[in-house]
Amino acid sequence: LPASRTRFRVMTLSVQETIAQRKAQGHGTLVAYLPVGYPDLATSVEASIAVLNSGADILELGVPYSDPVMDGTVIARATQTALERGFKLRHVFPAVAEIVKATGKPVLVMTYWNPVVQYGVEKFATDLKAAGGAGLITPDLIPDEAADWLEISERLELERVFLAAPSSSDSRLHVAGEQSKGFVYAVSTMGITGTRIDVDSAARGLVERIYAQGAEATCVGLGISTAEHVTDVVGFADGAIVGSALVRALSEGGVGAVGELAQSLASGTKRN
């Protein structure tokens, strides 16, 4: 990939605009997660383009990190492989530029906060903007501790996604909704813990609380792996986020398999 910092002037909708457009079309939004650099940089870009061209609406591009405390085993193993094969943080920006240029769809970078601080918050944000990135998902950064990011993202018009969990207080949900731009990331356990009814109830309850605290949009992530899961989620939230299932498909079947799964998942976005 070229190491160019050229600004790609691709006409892309923002995350917020994409969610609104899909809603107007009678669909929920499909957010696809893949880690950059896995199994190698070029293939990760190819896979990312494939999932977007196969029906995903937004890409969540994960930054490999040495201590991925919030990732499941499938994603943690993939990101560790990327690091072992030479991934560097600077590789994120040409990858984003290539994906946006090829698809015209929004790319959110998902990263733990320490790499951004080490790179320089202002420099990271500036390079992301120049690459055509939509913004950041920051799983371990809460709005209360995000003063630099809030100021810089506002100035550069980058979207920012904060997380909300069932354990979050109403006041924290309110702040997450107030400070997020794009959507609030509702952390669910769908398909992993408990029976389907129990898990659906927990996810629905969290989303209802997030909306009650004033959030404009929320997408549900963790454990969603089938079109049926997607259909369930978009019945009560703006979108569904799929990660581990796509990473597993890429690992086992390559770019073709990950594209096929994305197409299947996208079939579940139509609201009944």
Catalytic residue among 60, 98, 159, 232: 60
Are 94 and 47 spatial neighbours (Cβ–Cβ below 8 Å)?
no
Task: Tell me which residue has tokens 């002037």.
Answer: 9
Nearest-angstrom CA–CA distance, 59 and 67: 22
Catalytic residue among 71, 98, 127, 159: 71
Nearest-angstrom CA–CA distance, 86 and 24: 43
The reply to whether 17 belongs to the active site is no
Cα-based torsion angle of the residue sequence 169, 15, 138, 170 in order, rounded to the nearest 10 degrees:
0
C-alpha to C-alpha distances, 31 to 59, 200, 203, nearest whole angstrom: 6, 19, 17
The reply to whether 200 belongs to the active site is no
- Catalytic positions: 60, 71
